[in-house]
Amino acid sequence: MPDTIQLLPDHVANQIAAGEVVQRPASVVKELMENSIDAEADQITLLIKDAGKSLIQVIDNGRGMSATDARLSFERHATSKIKQATDLFDIHTKGFRGEALASIAAIAHVEMKTKIEGESLGNHLKLAGSEIVIQDPIACEKGTSIAVKNLFYNIPARRNFLKSSAVETRHIINEFQRVALAHPEISFSFFHNDNQIYKLNAQSVRKRIVSIFGKKIDEYLVPINESTEHLKISGFVGKPKTAKKKRGEQFFFVNNRFIKNAYLNHAVTNAFEELLGSGYYPSYFLYLEVPARSIDINIHPTKTEIKFEDEHTLYAILRASVKHSLGQYNVAPVLDFNRDASMDVPYDYKDKKALRPNIEVNPDFNPFKKEKLVQGPKSAQWESLYTGLNIENIETNTESDAQLFSDEKTDAKTYQIHNKYIVSSIKSGIVYIHQNLAHQRILYEEFLKNITVKDAASQQMLFPLEISFGKADIIAIREIQNDLESIGFMFGQFSENSIVVKGIPVTITESQIGTIIERLLEDIQSELPESSFSQVDIMSKSLAKSLAIKSGTKLDFKEQEEIVNRLFVCKQPDISPFGKTTFITVNINDIDKKFGL
């Protein structure tokens, strides 16, 4: 048999490696910014166009590269960061694999300008498909600028696989936030389509958090400080009030590298125990410093997962220090920026076991009671669920179960049982309708239709409402603004950290607006990684879930009828938008059988 093994040509090998390193525009952002940090830059600018699909550029004032290094940097396994295998166990830089630039150059057009301190001229390189097409001297500033254009231009399948601009932008913002939070000592600016989104001066951790997430977070931050021989923990946790229904602002940094770690996350969540309602996630910004030799960051190519030598101890210390600080915040006033550092002196860890944190527990305490606006509608809100309803407009699918079913429906009365099910008699027997799931289906179809038809009823507000959001959220809202308008929202001014709402869909009340938009943003974000659904679908689902009448709400006869009638003109009345059964029927013959008839 002839030999069959061949070495893959470099450009093919690079494209394959690129698949691991570059999943989406945000991966390029991460790699380039990390390189700038490794080059000891203290000013980093990020520019993106079209959610990074047409341009991602990072400009730094770091060390720069010589002509030879500039050329070599695009070779696979070319790195200045490790020299021998043993270095792998003592990593102090973000990169060390020497894969990022080679991978990026394999799937995009790249242009680099770089100059070392003291040289009169810098180097200019252009690459396409891993090949250097131009290299010449250029006059430029000290540091490095790398522009990545037309990502995945040569892999249409990958390019088509990219999500909407809203989603890709959100990923980029997440990545930017992680890097910026990990390095408050560095100034960053970030432009999206020529609009400046962030301008962050070198500042303290606390100020960095506030600059990114908005002023209102400041009063909610509880400082954490802990020092043992092999570990330092610092940072902040959010008071229970800031907890989110979806995993939101949760950041762990280990030696200034953002990481995800379910075990440590558990330690923090656990420390909150009684303070959080179930299903709520605490916010935290925690910085761990451990000896580089005690961790292994080599297990994942994109390096957000790491292994610790002694996870159990770490867990215990982390949980105890969060608990301790939470206990203290109940009595201690909020500390301001200029606080006396001595107030943060870590207490002696050895004594900690004996010290039960001073947390007053009220078993009925629900920190969200006041804020939880999307509750079972009170009668006034409930009324509004029906105003503007236009049943005639909803197309009926003659072949659907719905039609068969509504033919079958007699004029019989409906009943509500356990404030949860609507029961009604039908020709063939009895139907049980789950009020919450059924209403989700009704609203879901209504929103979907409104978004596509764009003729939703809107109620103008007497006094426009200004709501503040973080910058990232403002950008996200802009991205979905058209869709929101087609379901009845009307917006006024967008500023850096607030939006003005002038009109809302007739199905919601003013007090629900903030929560609904926030939930919507969280849902869009949490659907990011796997969902193949369109954004319109996610939005409709999210709103339907927020607004559907809850189990436990008492409905009068008219309201019950309304649900029944509207459900059975739906295109798919039998399942909720999340795939749950909305109603069941019991056949009269089966009832007869139970009586032995």
For ligand ADP, the binding residues (CB under 6 A) are: 31, 35-36, 39, 60, 62-65, 73, 78-81, 95-102, 144
Q: Which of 44, 176, 179, 18 is nearest to 97 (CA)?
A: 18
Residue 133: both structure tokens together? 């097409």
63 versus 324: smaller Cβ distance to ligand ADP: 63
187 versus 211: smaller Cβ distance to ligand ADP: 187
Closest distance between ligand ADP and the C-beta of residue 127, in Å?
13
**With contacts defined by CB under 5 A, how many residues of the chain interact with Mg ion?**
3
Using CB under 5 A, which of the segments 7-15, 93-101, 409-417, 473-481 binds Mg ion? 93-101
Residues 1 and 281 sit within 8 Å (Cβ to Cβ): no
64 versus 488: smaller Cβ distance to ligand ADP: 64
Closest distance between ligand ADP and the C-beta of residue 308, in Å?
22
138 versus 453: smaller Cβ distance to ligand ADP: 138
Closest distance between ligand ADP and the C-beta of residue 531, in Å?
30
Closest distance between Mg ion and the C-beta of residue 38, in Å?
7
Helix H or strand E encompassing 227? strand 221-228
Residue 300 Cα distances to 54, 70, 99, angstroms: 28, 26, 13
135 versus 515: smaller Cβ distance to ligand ADP: 135
Closest distance between Mg ion and the C-beta of residue 224, in Å?
30
Using CB under 5 A, which of the segments 30-38, 264-272, 338-346, 567-575 binds Mg ion? 30-38
100 versus 374: smaller Cβ distance to Mg ion: 100
Q: Does 95 bind Mg ion (CB under 5 A)?
A: yes
Q: Which of 239, 212, 225 is nearest to 288 (CA)?
A: 225
Residue 277: both structure tokens together? 């309602």
The residue at minimum Cβ distance from ligand ADP is 95
73 versus 546: smaller Cβ distance to Mg ion: 73
Q: Binding partner of residue 429 among Mg ion, ligand ADP, none, CB under 5 to 8 Å per kind?
A: none
DSSP 552: T
Helix H or strand E encompassing 432? strand 429-434
Q: Binding partner of residue 574 among Mg ion, ligand ADP, none, CB under 5 to 8 Å per kind?
A: none
Tell me if residue 280 falls in helix, strand or coil: coil
Closest distance between Mg ion and the C-beta of residue 239, in Å?
37
102 versus 374: smaller Cβ distance to Mg ion: 102
6 versus 86: smaller Cβ distance to ligand ADP: 86
Closest distance between ligand ADP and the C-beta of residue 79, in Å?
3
Q: Does 35 bind Mg ion (CB under 5 A)?
A: yes
Q: Does 187 bind Mg ion (CB under 5 A)?
A: no
Q: Does 100 bind Mg ion (CB under 5 A)?
A: yes
Using CB under 5 A, which of the segments 89-97, 108-116, 170-178, 386-394 binds Mg ion? 89-97
304 versus 403: smaller Cβ distance to ligand ADP: 304
Q: Which of 56, 148, 140 is nearest to 111 (CA)?
A: 148
Q: Does 505 bind Mg ion (CB under 5 A)?
A: no
DSSP 347: P
Closest distance between Mg ion and the C-beta of residue 34, in Å?
5
Closest distance between Mg ion and the C-beta of residue 46, in Å?
15
Q: Binding partner of residue 325 among Mg ion, ligand ADP, none, CB under 5 to 8 Å per kind?
A: none
Closest distance between ligand ADP and the C-beta of residue 120, in Å?
18
Q: Binding partner of residue 97 among ligand ADP, Mg ion, none, CB under 5 to 8 Å per kind?
A: ligand ADP
> Quick one: CA torsion of 274, 278, 284, 290, rounded to 10 degrees?
80
CA dihedral over 255, 256, 260, 264, signed as positive or negative: positive
Closest distance between Mg ion and the C-beta of residue 23, in Å?
16
Residue 361 Cα distances to 154, 271, 336, 350, 371, angstroms: 59, 13, 26, 25, 20
C-alpha atoms less than 13 angstroms from C-alpha of 13 in its C-beta half-sphere? 10
Q: Binding partner of residue 214 among Mg ion, ligand ADP, none, CB under 5 to 8 Å per kind?
A: none
Question: Residue 436 CA to chain centroid, in angstroms?
Answer: 27
Residue 171 Cα distances to 161, 192, 214, angstroms: 15, 13, 19
Q: Which of 438, 411, 429 is nearest to 550 (CA)?
A: 438
Helix H or strand E encompassing 200? strand 195-200
Q: Binding partner of residue 36 among ligand ADP, Mg ion, none, CB under 5 to 8 Å per kind?
A: ligand ADP
The per-type count for the chain, helices as H runs and strands as E runs, is 17, 22
Q: Binding partner of residue 240 among Mg ion, ligand ADP, none, CB under 5 to 8 Å per kind?
A: none
Phi-psi region of 503 (alpha: psi -120 to 50; beta: other; left: phi over 0): beta
82 versus 467: smaller Cβ distance to ligand ADP: 82
Closest distance between Mg ion and the C-beta of residue 22, in Å?
12
Q: Binding partner of residue 80 among ligand ADP, Mg ion, none, CB under 5 to 8 Å per kind?
A: ligand ADP
Beta strand segments in 281-405, E: 284-289, 295-296, 307-308
35 versus 414: smaller Cβ distance to Mg ion: 35
Helix H or strand E encompassing 430? strand 429-434
Residues 527 and 519 sit within 8 Å (Cβ to Cβ): no
Closest distance between ligand ADP and the C-beta of residue 15, in Å?
15
Q: Binding partner of residue 60 among ligand ADP, Mg ion, none, CB under 5 to 8 Å per kind?
A: ligand ADP
Residue 579 Cα distances to 238, 438, 440, 573, 575, angstroms: 34, 11, 11, 11, 5
Own/partner pairs for 458-463, CB < 8 Å, 24+ apart? Answer: 458/488, 458/489, 458/490, 458/503, 458/504, 458/505, 458/506, 459/388, 459/488, 459/503, 459/504, 459/505, 459/506, 460/490, 460/502, 460/503, 461/501, 461/502, 461/503, 461/504, 461/510
Rg of the chain, C-alpha, whole Å: 29
97 versus 566: smaller Cβ distance to ligand ADP: 97
What's the burial of 369, exposed, middle or buried (CB within 10 Å: 0-12/13-18/19+)?
exposed
Using CB under 5 A, which of the segments 87-95, 239-247, 289-297, 553-561 binds Mg ion? 87-95
Binding site for Mg ion (CB under 5 A): 35, 95, 100
